[in-house]
Amino acid sequence: MKQLLSIIVVLIIVSLGKISASFAIQVDEGFTEIVSEHFRARFLTSSDRELARRALDRAEYLYKRVARDIGYSRYDGYWTWEKRAGIILFPDQISFSRFTGQPAWSVGYASRESIFFHNKTIVSFSGQANFFDEVLPHELTHLMFWDYFDRHIASVPVWFEEGVAQLEETGKRGIAKDALRPVVQSGKHIQFRVLGNLRPSELNQDAQVGIYYAESLSIIVFLVEKYGQEAFYQLIKELRGGQSFEKALTRSYGGIFKSMDDLEGRWVRYILDE
């Protein structure tokens, strides 16, 4: 259960709330900007300059890694000059929450509905021990995912996107399976056909939120580790072409999965080591 609760930390990385357009104007006031090849970082206090520089270096590394993991070679020469993605760093959580409107537990912001999606911007604050290993890779994966899927992003299940974003976090791969084993044994996991229509913001209990994120991550790990990267690339390609998840799944894993029910059955056996 402790491992499962640790998965809930992802909830504080991504919030599905909206933000007022006024923030786009306010955020430029008093900020200093430094840039790298594909990113621009903005910060308010001089003490955060080194953090911003490290964030740029880490983002450049992640940029290439995430592109490789989702099979998107376009990134070799993209997001440059005026198309650079943004990283906005507030000096503390209070100022971050005040300007973004996010709750006190939030440590970063990315949302399909926000103005930051269109501007390819990650918003966070300094003083976080997990910024480089969890917050930044998770948020950056969301931006690249949305950019890659473009107009078809609305048809991609939220759980799938969350699973891929967690996969890019340091040390997350090995957590979900063990945490979910007692949940699956007791029959309390979220049925896949239900999972496909859920958003984490629709869940009211922390335990259910934890299961949602752990399950999302574990399905992605299962697909990649059990059936290889090439089939996973094909799945993403089919989704990007506008296919439903079930159709993309059956096309990409021909002869293995004939339906979501097949995927769930094999995943359950994987979790239980059967």
Do both 190 and 119 map to the same domain?
no
Residue 115 sits in a domain whose CATH number is: 3.40.30.160
Do both 146 and 173 map to the same domain?
no
> Position 121: which residue type?
T
* Boundary-marking domain end, from 117, 151, 185: 151
Identify the domain containing residue 36 by its residue range. 15-151
Do both 117 and 171 map to the same domain?
no
Do both 143 and 202 map to the same domain?
no
Res 137: pLDDT: 95
* Boundary-marking domain end, from 151, 184, 199: 151
Half-sphere exposure of 13 (CA within 13 A, CB side): 25
Mean of the pLDDT values across residues 249-262? 94
Do both 128 and 49 map to the same domain?
yes
> Position 28: which residue type?
D
- Is 41 in contact with 48 (CB distance < 8 Å)? no
- CB neighbours (10 Å) of residue 148? 20
Res 105: pLDDT: 62
When divided into structural domains, the chain yields a total of 2
Condensed to tens digits (0 to 9), the pLDDT of residues 3-31 reads 554 444 444 344 333 333 333 334 556 89
* Boundary-marking domain end, from 151, 173, 192: 151
Do both 193 and 130 map to the same domain?
no
> Position 24: which residue type?
A
Residue 270 pLDDT greater than 50, yes or no: yes
Condensed to tens digits (0 to 9), the pLDDT of residues 41-83 reads 999 999 999 999 999 999 999 999 999 998 886 655 578 878 8
Residue 234 pLDDT greater than 90, yes or no: yes
Do both 64 and 178 map to the same domain?
no
Res 257: pLDDT: 96
